[in-house]
Amino acid sequence: MHEGHQEIARWMEPLGAQVRIDAAGNSRAVYPAEQPNAPRLLIGSHLDTVPNAGAYDGILGVVLAVALLEELRGRRLPFAIEVVGFSEEEGVRFGTPFIGSRALVGRLDEELLGVQDARGISVREAIKEFGLNPAEVSQAEVQSDTLGYFEFHIEQGPILEKLNLPLAAVEGIAGQSRLELVFLGRTNHAGTTPMHLRCDAIAGAAEWIGVVERLAMETSGLVATVGKIEAKPGAANVIAGEARLTLDVRHISDEIRVQAVEDLIRQANGLAARRGLTVRESPLLNQPAVAMDPFFIGQIEQAIVQTGCKPHRMVSGAGHDAMILAEKVPSAMIFLRTPGGISHDPAESVLQDDVEKAIACGLHLLDRLASSPDFYKRTNRA
């Protein structure tokens, strides 16, 4: 992350930007406006990613923001542009996502600073280890006159490729629940324990994973994933006494999502009772669905048309920092087509022509915002 921060500074300083790292490890680079003390528009995305990832999720949004400013060729706008590289969006290390962007909306609180990783290191200690001061987290918050936030991001799904469209405006981001469940049974000998006398935690977890998949297949618009499972003691000739797994449930309707989670927990307890197991669930995230800013969506669609492309609006199944920034400032996203719909995998890719169109669209958007009186009138929730 230190190297990533230094690279972004190397890109941004020649453009006359002031670069700093805030206390949550976010890279913050401000490209000045025509006049000093002008309000800011934030453009960015996340710097972190998932294990064995592709090369575009998150970082493409930061690189596109830098490329957009380079394309201004020194031109200043009536507003400053702050390029933000969020330190932690995926939630891989601490199990809970959006740590970087929550600092910008004042939600990197004591509870979140106390969350620990698998080695028992808290967010607060990780910030100190990185060389930053957790006591300064409040200084990461966005200014009250911030005009908005927008994020370029790969779609990470198959829709734009199927429609043969390079770009889209995101109208909403699906809500997301994340939990950890632990099935507890009784460790025993694999060779001597008759089947009807077992309390097999892996077998119980496996049955429940089938229930998760079936519920999602039968509920329109719902996706549910068990992405990680760890068994103890984890030996071939030992019946597992513990199976620890993650659950990720998403839907654009919060009611359907929350209902599905409650249903899955109820079914976990039911099958555990039948198998002589117990289940412990720990909620890690209950992130409501978020609508993007209507004014921004309209401006983005016009900018897409000006770029010579057919406009399209869509819901994002993936979570993004924009859903956190939207708590404080008008937020929006521009999606780029994802070839093969593959993401969170080294095969993740973008088409160079789509990237060029995204930069052109971004320039049209900046020109539209710079000349739009409505853009400055909007009050912020900051």
**Cβ atoms within 10 Å, residue 84:** 29
* Amino acid letter, 103: A
Structure tokens at 267: 């079914």
Nearest approach, Cβ of residue 97 and Mn ion (Å): 9
Q: Is residue 225 exposed (0-12), middle (13-18) or buried (19+ Cβ within 10 Å)?
A: middle
Transcribe 176-191 into DSSP letters.
EEEEEEEEE---EETT
| Helix (H) or strand (E) segment spanning residue 242 | strand 242-251
Nearer to Mn ion, 50 or 291 (CB): 50
CA 20 to each of CA 27, 222, 313: distance values in angstroms, whole numbers, following the listed order: 6, 40, 34
Min dist CB 48 to Mn ion, Å, is 9
Q: How far apart are the first and last CA of the chain?
A: 28
Q: How many C-beta neighbours within 10 Å does residue 22 have?
A: 20
* Binding positions for ligand HGY, 271-330, rule CB under 6 A: 318-319
Single out the segment in contact with Mn ion by CB under 5 A; choices: 53-61, 105-113, 226-234, 285-293.
53-61
Work out how close the CB of 49 gets to ligand HGY at its nearest, in angstroms, rounded to a whole number: 8
The DSSP element (H or E) to which 124 belongs, if any, is helix 123-130
Q: Residue 301 corresponds to which amino acid? A: E
Q: Take residue 36 and report the two structure tokens written for it.
A: 């000093």
> Total residues at the site for ligand HGY (CB under 6 A)?
5
For Mn ion, the binding residues in 322-381 under the rule CB under 5 A are none
Residue 319 interacts with, from Mn ion, ligand HGY, none (CB under 5-8 Å by kind): ligand HGY
Cβ closest to ligand HGY, residue 105 vs residue 318: 318
Q: Nearer to Mn ion by C-beta: 11 or 335?
A: 335
**Which span sits near ligand HGY by CB under 6 A: 23-31, 68-76, 89-97, 277-285?**
89-97
Residue 90 as a binder of ligand HGY (CB under 6 A): the answer is yes
Q: Which of residues 55-74 bind Mn ion (CB under 5 A)?
A: 57-58
The correct pick among 22, 82, 89, 200 for binding ligand HGY (CB under 6 A) is 89
The answer to whether residue 151 forms part of the interface with Mn ion (CB under 5 A) is: no
Residue 166 dihedral angles phi and psi, to the nearest 5°: -80, -30
Binding site partner of 241, from Mn ion, ligand HGY, none, Cβ cut-off 5-8 A by kind: none
Residue numbers at the binding site for Mn ion (CB under 5 A): 57-58
Residues that bind ligand HGY (CB under 6 A): 89-90, 97, 318-319
